[in-house]
Amino acid sequence: MILLNSSIGNYVISNGKRYSYFGGNNYLGLASHPSVKEASIRAIEKYGVNFSASRRTSGTADIHLELERKLADFKGKQDSVIFPSGYQGNSILLEVLKERYSDVFTDQFAHSSILTGIKINPADIHYYDHCDAGHLESILDKFKGSYPLIITDGIFALTGEIAPLDKIYPLVKKYNGILIVDDAHSTGILGKNGRGTPEFFNLPADENIFQSETMSKALGSYGGFLAGDKIFTELVRESSATYQASTSLPPSVVAAGIASMEIIKDNPALRIRVLELAGELRKKISGLGFQTTTDNTPIIPVMVNDIDKAKHLSSFLEENGIIAPFMNYPSRQELYMIRVTVSAAHTDNQTDELVDLMSKWRRMN
Ligand SMILES: Cc1ncc(COP(=O)(O)O)c(C=O)c1O
């Protein structure tokens, strides 16, 4: 376990020592941005630490509404609705859309928040091979006549791969289905306006596409949100038990979300920077002979395929002042890897230093 004794930035303090930090998902470097922190502190001074009530009873504050407006503007949608965590977003969507599907088709390596959110009869859940739209089509065909809901990660958390929505979306149309994309890692990063994978693939505005999103990664704060037209957001507010029965997001978190939205709106260069940096780093890591993936996202897995070697690489980096965590995640227990995540706040010197050390490790192992 990596013990943090500081805020997260491109450097962290762990066990009292300073490290160059390639962990976490602080893609745009906003988690400890001075104006985000300042906004949080001001919100605590004004509102305290917690509203201590659900949105529906007495827990809705003016800043919740302001954040929802800002998120809706960012997404180019009429409205948005926020709730305590991104993890809940898939459950909420699967819950409020339940009248619209009979069968769920999901990627075999879907995130655990997707899998735990599916509450239908297991016989009606169908897994397609990872990112394989051809296989998805063959299963959709087999269950022709069902009402399909297709659900996938947008960017896969472990491997940084982008789901092939360009191939999946035509199947959603062909089989009259609906699509949910978990864009936890894509929101704020992919697409011309940072709106996630549907925008990245230039999918048309379509009321049958839903995105589950979080503020805890690129968006510099915490909490989940869903954006759409007012009919959809009302549906969530009126029929999601999770939304209705959870304490509202705390003031510091809401204010951080608002401040981060302002920064993101004024600084599109941040997402360009993180993707450029990640692209160069991925190329260099792959050039050293390490096995990685190819999509340009801030997540760079370094597959070592041997648990001891993967752990050794991570410890070697740590001994030399760099944190790049060893990962073994619920959905991919068989993958032994370190996961390098890039932030817009990283400097070229930091990435060079990482590449030099990885090269040294490779020569020794
Ligand atoms: C693909 C995916 N979906 C959902 C979540 C949950 O988001 P949050 O941690 O903001 O609740 C994560 C988090 O790590 C994730 O990787």
Distance from the alpha carbon of residue 33 to the mean position of ligand 1, in angstroms: 21
Query: For the chain, what is the radius of gyration of the CA atoms?
Result: 21
Q: What is the pLDDT of residues 292-348, one digit of tens each?
A: 999 999 999 999 988 999 999 999 999 999 999 998 776 666 788 999 999 999 999
In the chain, what are the helix, strand and coil shares in percent, each to the nearest 5? 45, 20, 40
Interatomic CA distance for residues 133 and 34, integer angstroms: 43
Is residue 89 a contact partner of residue 214, using CB atoms and an 8 Å limit? yes
Distance from the alpha carbon of residue 220 to the mean position of ligand 1, in angstroms: 14
152 forms beta bridges with 181
pLDDT of amino acid 63: 98
Mutate to test the pocket of ligand 1, among 112, 216, 297, 339 (most ligand atoms within 8 A of CB): 216
Interatomic CA distance for residues 307 and 261, integer angstroms: 39
pLDDT of amino acid 334: 77
β-pairing, 79-83 vs 148-153, is unpaired
Interatomic CA distance for residues 250 and 47, integer angstroms: 9
pLDDT of amino acid 23: 97
Q: Going residue by residue through the chain, which has 365 residues, state the pLDDT in tens, using 9 for 90 and above.
A: 889 999 999 999 999 999 999 999 999 999 999 999 999 999 999 999 999 999 999 999 999 999 999 999 999 999 999 999 999 999 999 999 999 999 999 999 999 999 999 999 999 999 999 999 999 999 999 999 999 999 999 999 999 999 999 999 999 999 999 999 999 999 999 999 999 999 999 999 999 999 999 999 999 999 999 999 999 999 999 999 999 999 999 999 999 999 999 999 999 999 999 999 999 999 999 999 999 999 999 999 999 988 999 999 999 999 999 999 998 776 666 788 999 999 999 999 999 999 999 999 999 98
Interatomic CA distance for residues 185 and 1, integer angstroms: 22
80 forms beta bridges with 227
CA torsion sign for 303, 304, 306, 307 is negative
Q: Which pTM value belongs to this model?
A: 0.97
Mutate to test the pocket of ligand 1, among 111, 158, 162 (most ligand atoms within 8 A of CB): 111
Q: What is the pLDDT of residues 79-102, one digit of tens each?
A: 999 999 999 999 999 999 999 999
The domains of the chain, with CATH numbers, are 11-22+268-364 (3.90.1150.10), 34-266 (3.40.640.10)
pLDDT of amino acid 1: 86
**Token pair for 321:** 């002042």
Is residue 341 a contact partner of residue 25, using CB atoms and an 8 Å limit? yes
Cβ of 107 below 6 Å from ligand 1: no
Is residue 130 a contact partner of residue 86, using CB atoms and an 8 Å limit? no
To which residue do tokens 């739209």 refer?
133
pLDDT of amino acid 305: 80
Cβ of 221 below 6 Å from ligand 1: no
For residue 216, which atom of ligand 1 is closest to its CA? 10
326 forms beta bridges with 338
Write phi, then psi, for 167 (nearest 5 degrees): -100, -30
Cβ of 216 below 6 Å from ligand 1: yes
Cβ of 296 below 6 Å from ligand 1: no
Is residue 25 a contact partner of residue 185, using CB atoms and an 8 Å limit? yes
Distance from the alpha carbon of residue 363 to the mean position of ligand 1, in angstroms: 35
* Residue whose CA is at the smallest distance from ligand 1 atom 4: 87
